[in-house]
Structure 1
Amino acid sequence: MNSRVIHLFAMMVILVCAQTPVSASELHITATLPALGQIAQGVAGKFGEVKVLAHIGQDPHFVPPKPTLARHLTHADLLIAAGLGLEIGWLPPLLEAAGNDNIRPGGSGYLDGTQVLAEVLGKPQGKITRALGDIHPEGNPHWYIDPINAVRLAQALAERLAVLDPGHAVVFRQNAANFARDVQARMPGWQTALQDLSPLVSYHDSYLYLVQRFGLKVIDFVEPKPGIEPSTAHLDMLVGELQKGSATTLWMEPYHDGKTARKVCELGHILCRVMPDSIQGDGFAGYLHLIDVIAAGGR
């Protein structure tokens, strides 16, 4: 995006923001993804206003960077992102247009997976080239689908919000603790339910953290490499493997639910499962429902 386009984009953001009054009595939090926004709302409660940039069901790799999204960043006290390169194609121009240095990566108002995770999974080994597909050099960015990582995010958020609003620090920390308790109470049920969905084939490597958390087995991917459409030869090989009974389900996000995936399920005699990475719902209840839906076999 050249400097002239960025300047025009920024002017549009200023005009939009001038028409959008904000309350000075609450924290202004922006999350890049719906699931992150639900966790943020759960921690902040009534003391924070949360805006989300991506829509439910939208591919988080590809979000159009519209000026109406940048306005949510202009006055934000805190930005929560998946990080690890997931939003690299659309978040930087929004940050540039918003002009809020505090919420840029490295700023005190920025929080992403690198500051939350105990371990980043899926880091590529060896020399990274385009031949490997659309890989994320820093590691797999889909960490937020793992409920234990969601708890880590809630705890990190509570501490960050406590600095921004010390008067409600106890509330933020208690909200995060309640969420951790609710997740732990559900873990045995999720563990049992998910075993019936394994071994599995995944369209994209979106479920790595969830799969490892619950000890599931992924035998292959519809994409031969991240972001690369499968060839006929790859699909023939995959179907042949599935016809031997090597997997029971194919997991895919709503934006990958198309003819290719459905044909693999039909010819491979397995069940197609649409496993969302976001779902309607408010706060912690919305996020917990997301994991409930996945554990129940998706949609």
Structure 2
Amino acid sequence: MAEPSSFSMTFPSLKLRFYFFIFLCFNIGIVSAQLSSDFYSTTCPNVLSTIKTEVDTAVNNEARMGASLLRLHFHDCFVQGCDASILLDDTSNFTGEKTALPNANSVRGFDVIDTIKSKVESLCPGVVSCADIVAVAARDSVVALGGTSWTVQLGRRDSTDASLSLANSDLPAFSLNLSDLITAFSNKGFTAKEMVALSGSHTIGQAGCITFRTRIYNETNIDSTFATSLQANCPSTGGDTNLSPIDTTSQNSFDNAYYKNLQSQKGLFHSDQELFNGGSTDSDVNGYSSDSASFLTDFANAMVKMGNLSPLTGSNGQIRTDCKKVN
């Protein structure tokens, strides 16, 4: 009888140890699949400084590139998550996102990303993803133009496909009304206030005439002097690609002037002015207009959240050698 008694006492202990082992293995798998700020600390310790050097050079050569690299990250993450799908050229298997309506003849910076990738590959072949490069380049671009910094979480992997249809459906258009903007961002997990904070990225960069022509000729909630000044470079017909700064106050400085412009009915896009047009987000615009620190803090937090949109991690996806095509 001694042996059965002894077994009955140790069996629960063995079961507990077994369940703990399974629990531990499961959670190790979860943790290993998460993004982390020090993901490349041992595998490619100089990656961040390398990216920063190239971004600083690109922005110094052309200030507009800072806005373009920031927008590239946004347009990547809102389609399939932050997976560098926007960088892929068309193939026989899929049509990429570069020709989608919100991207065609508009999204820029691919050459800068390619240059960075080439430099990083020479340092650490097959280690750093294109998706992570895009995310870090966006942060460094904001900093290069005098904006705030944030800790970029790393460990994303690259997709092996892209989606033209999702790019057309998921990226918010410059013509959207407030309710549609709120819905578009809510679909990605953002609050209305986070949407207003992220829209502050329009404090830098330029836009083609075709994107704001309707507003400056047909809308009434626009400063008349502002509209007239824009019409000089954006005729009612033709000149679609003629550029104007989105923030006419300080287009190359990452600050809160964008919100002050909205208060003066000087939003360039219809969607911009919708944030301050008697609706629910007026108070957020007023807040960021009067408190630059609050805007920069909320913007940085929203960018971290955006960078966490459905990343590929672990064994999913791949580390592309060439950002334009799958391995």
| TM-score using structure 2 length | 0.28
TM-score between the two structures when normalised by the length of structure 1: 0.30
Identify the structure with the greater strand proportion.
1
Structure whose alpha-carbon radius of gyration is higher: 2
